[in-house]
Amino acid sequence: MKEDTLRLNCSGLEIHEVGMRDGLQMEKQVVPLEKKIEWINRLIDSGFDIIQVGSFVRADKVPQMADTAELFKGLRSLHSPLSALSSLLSALVLNEKGLERALECEVPMICMGVSASETHSMKNTGMSISDATDRIIAMAKMAEGKGHRVQVSVQSAFGCGYEGHVPQERVMTIVGRYFDAGLKNISLADTAGHATPDQVEKMFSAILEFDEGVECACHFHNTYGLALANCYAAMKVGVKSFESSVAGLGGCPFTKIAGGNTCTEDFVHMLQRTGMREDVKLTELVRLADDVDAFFGKEVSSAVRKVGPLQLYSKSEL
């Protein structure tokens, strides 16, 4: 694809920073509420379109997410109304109880989804694919009816750590049910990190052919080192929204092998090398990633943080 065509496809590209939810949920060392609020405020200042604050799940299953309601309360005390923020705040819910809590907290954007793997679905939600799809659609329609932005996803869309190959037809069946219900903000999540660029292009191309009004998002894990390549493949076919995690933290605690997410600072660096999303403050983001990794005592987990951002060329040098 020619460069100018790629730039056209990527116009209006959106970054959904999920480090405070997907990034932290695997960490055993619980981050204090005040530190989370500090990190979220720094993400807001860095210029992200959407920031996922947490998830409304059982505290005994995911202790790191036990304070999500308190997080929204604390952020609202600092930024009222939340709708006036430069970043849209989101949260994940898995069931009706989680949705009820999200609605009580007036979460601006609510994310929910169905796994395309029966095994992963049972481990993650305790529901079959069919039951989960019925319930998620009903929940999504309720949240939309109350004025919330809603994103529905298909998890394990590119493969499953337990079952291996996931047929594209199974993914498309779930997507088709979303469309039939009028739900057109759809994310495909590579929960096990099995996706390859050709698979990404094929899957998203099929979804984009469903309806011109679809809003596609992607969520890749870097289990096998292909997250950035998969993001690029998604961009080529017109995907507009990308989910990534600061410092590359994260992974699903209910999959067999948990790999980190697309690293936000590496993804932003890639975009800025090609003249996109220069509004995001990469230097500030790298500093935050340093702070996050120092808190957990981790080794450097992104290329940009190891060697520093490459000096951007001027247009005359390209």
- Please check whether residue 201 is in contact with residue 166, taking contact to mean a CB–CB distance below 8 angstroms: no
Contacts of 174 (CB under 8 A, 6+ apart): 114, 116, 129, 133, 154
Residues 173, 165: Cα–Cα separation, whole Å: 16
Q: Which domains does the chain have, with CATH numbers?
A: 3-317 (3.20.20.70)
**Pairwise CA distance, residues 158 & 227, whole Å:** 12
> What is d(CA 299, CA 195) in angstroms, rounded to the nearest whole number?
25
The CA distance from 249 to 275, in Å, is 26
Q: Which pTM was predicted?
A: 0.92
Residues taking part in catalysis: 252
How does pLDDT run along the chain (318 residues), one tens digit per residue?
Answer: 445 545 545 558 999 999 999 999 888 899 999 999 999 999 999 999 999 999 999 999 899 999 999 999 999 999 988 988 999 999 999 999 999 999 999 999 999 999 999 988 898 788 899 999 999 999 999 999 999 999 999 999 999 988 999 999 999 999 999 999 999 999 999 998 999 999 999 999 999 998 878 999 999 999 899 999 999 999 999 999 999 999 999 755 544 445 589 999 999 999 999 899 999 999 999 999 999 999 998 876 788 988 888 865 444 433
Q: Locate tokens 């999920």: which residue?
A: 18
How far is the C-alpha of 239 from the C-alpha of 5, rounded, in Å?
Answer: 13
Query: HSE on the CB side for 44, CA within 13 Å?
Result: 19
Residues with Cβ within 8 Å of residue 288, at least 6 apart in sequence = 39, 42, 43, 46, 246
